[in-house]
Structure 1
């Protein structure tokens, strides 16, 4: 009997230590709570790696903490990342969705926990669980790309090759919509003739495209923001077209990564006499291409400002105040209040002023400046 009592006593002691130890673990976990959770699409594109560091820098000197996770091109991983951050006690979620529609369920889970959701750079669509949107003016990006092609058009009947981002990215629609608004009058008057999209040809007299019409064109010319896919599409298009669709040409490329791939393909075709190709993001590799006259222009979106706007908004919310906004975007469910950041066209003539003199990049990062 005494032996049984001793065993019971020992078990009680062990249980007490377990409870105390668990309590210690729980308080440690609680003390490591994160204020702002940030989810970015992938580490495989230079743009998002740059953003990661700038987010870290933006929160220095404040009392708040952050954790940054990457979704690596997977909406499932993105949702898992959001759940991880929810469990860490975040008060604000800054998320750039891999897929605007697919991200809805992830942010809805955050919203249920009382977390303020900031859609960053790309809009999360078809949900009312988005509080704010911090973005560059995406229509202005497309318009700037298109205007550069118009300003550098050679005569009439110049072949125009159209490319777009991913059909899953709402920004891709806005970029293309902005570009089409500028290009369409010049297609209608014969300055350009569309080389690689039957859907665009069918709509060449339509100034304002519906979402469905945009979708049909983008479905034919999407690059999925993938350099290899852009390369393959460009090769396919140049192989398929007749001789009158070569010579001096204009190319609407959606971003820098795809622009370099497309430019390399066009440069390797002996029937292409010259080409003007657009880009965006001011990636280092594309700035070197611009200096070397391999890429014509890029739309510079100063990520320092975008990050500052997003993190400034997060800190304002954490301080219990209401952030300032400058417009709104309809995401298919609600009008999301937005803070917009201006964009700048950069080419060989002003690259020094806009990117080097502004300390965005160092002159030593490039050759031939």
Structure 2
């Protein structure tokens, strides 16, 4: 009886050990599965409501489809609060690298500082995050060069003197808007000073027309008057207000510095309906499909093509080097108000009706079938 009891006890203990071991193995498998669900690179883009960022999303997906590293792309939908939630969500998934385009360069500080506390490498993508030391790298197009290219195009296409010049800018919350405008002003200012252009819609710019190098405060005052907030509707309303207030000598053949393609189309639509405006040259940037059609149709003069494929490749290149334990190569730096952020810059290309096919179709950025009237 005792012998049988000992045998039964041994069997029960053995069964208990087997159950515990099975449970441990099961938990181990669960952890392994959980690890598989972890994300290496988190990507946060500002909004799905602008074609530019939807375009970037697709380029990221194209670039990442064969990557050994896992990624997730989230959108902040114009909200810095949502942006912070997105970063926190990605941190909970164990990201090692954060690629982020801030909705507001200053407001994004709290989100990236939370990432840095977790040991995450932060890459600012296309927009600089300001007033924080929690940014490791900045992957960008040369924003000063974008503004300079827009300005030079207006100069190259100006006829005579006292050409009315209408200035517009991006959002004051976006450091890039300052860089774009600064780059444009440096090129335009000598031609404003010598009478080639006559400022039409900014009293602050008029006060500073003899000043070649503008301070941040001076730029802020002008941008405060002519900001579009990157919003086509706001750009449309401002253009309507400016044309309504403009005297006859500020119409005729005019030049328009529009900050990007979305605002350029809205502004162009307004100027094209004013009978006192005989012709206009209007700038843009981003090579959005709708604006490429406008350029083909003669409704928009040019766009600054920033090949997002290259920017995405550069951003992912930096991320992969970090994940592989290497130090990424950089080509410069930007002062974000707190530190000098190491930067990798990508070149830009001016596109108009003459070279649109070569730059955008022949390079396979877009398909010819996506447009009408392409020669």
CA contact (8 A) 1:75 1:99 kept: yes
Q: How far 1:20 sits from its partner (Å)?
A: 9.8
Q: How far 1:54 sits from its partner (Å)?
A: 1.3
State how far apart, in whole Å, the 2-side matches of 1:291 and 1:62 are: 37
Partner of 1:13: none
User: Paired residue for 2:265, among 248, 260, 269?
Assistant: 260
Q: How far 1:146 sits from its partner (Å)?
A: 0.2
CA contact (8 A) 1:55 1:307 kept: yes
Consecutive aligned runs of 4 or more in structure 1 exceeding 4 Å deviation: 17-27
Partner of 2:229: 224
Aligned ranges 1:22-101 → 2 under 5 Å:
28-101=33-106
Aligned ranges 1:135-214 → 2 under 5 Å:
135-214=140-219
CA displacement, residues 259-295 of structure 1 (integer Å, 9 cap, x when unaligned): 0000000000000000000000000000000000000
Any unmatched runs of 5+ in structure 2?
A: 1-21
State how far apart, in whole Å, the 2-side matches of 1:157 and 1:335 are: 41
1:268–1:83 CA distance, 2 compared to 1 (3 A): same
TM-score, normalisation: structure 1: 0.93
1:25–1:249 CA distance, 2 compared to 1 (3 A): same
CA contact (8 A) 1:259 1:279 kept: yes
Partner of 2:359: 354
Asked whether 1:334 is paired with 2:339, we answer yes
Aligned ranges 1:278-289 → 2 under 5 Å:
278-289=283-294
State how far apart, in whole Å, the 1-side matches of 2:65 and 2:83 are: 25
Aligned ranges 1:112-151 → 2 under 5 Å:
112-151=117-156
Q: How far 1:22 sits from its partner (Å)?
A: 8.0
CA contact (8 A) 1:96 1:121 kept: yes
State how far apart, in whole Å, the 2-side matches of 1:345 and 1:54 are: 21
User: Paired residue for 1:310, among 291, 309, 315?
Assistant: 315
Q: How far 1:62 sits from its partner (Å)?
A: 2.5
Any unmatched runs of 5+ in structure 1?
A: 1-16
State how far apart, in whole Å, the 1-side matches of 2:239 and 2:83 are: 31
Q: How far 1:23 sits from its partner (Å)?
A: 7.6
State how far apart, in whole Å, the 1-side matches of 2:27 and 2:201 are: 64
CA contact (8 A) 1:56 1:66 kept: no
Q: CA RMSD in A?
A: 1.6
SS in 2 for 1:53: helix
Higher Cα Rg, which structure: 2
State how far apart, in whole Å, the 2-side matches of 1:275 and 1:21 are: 70
SS in 2 for 1:165: coil
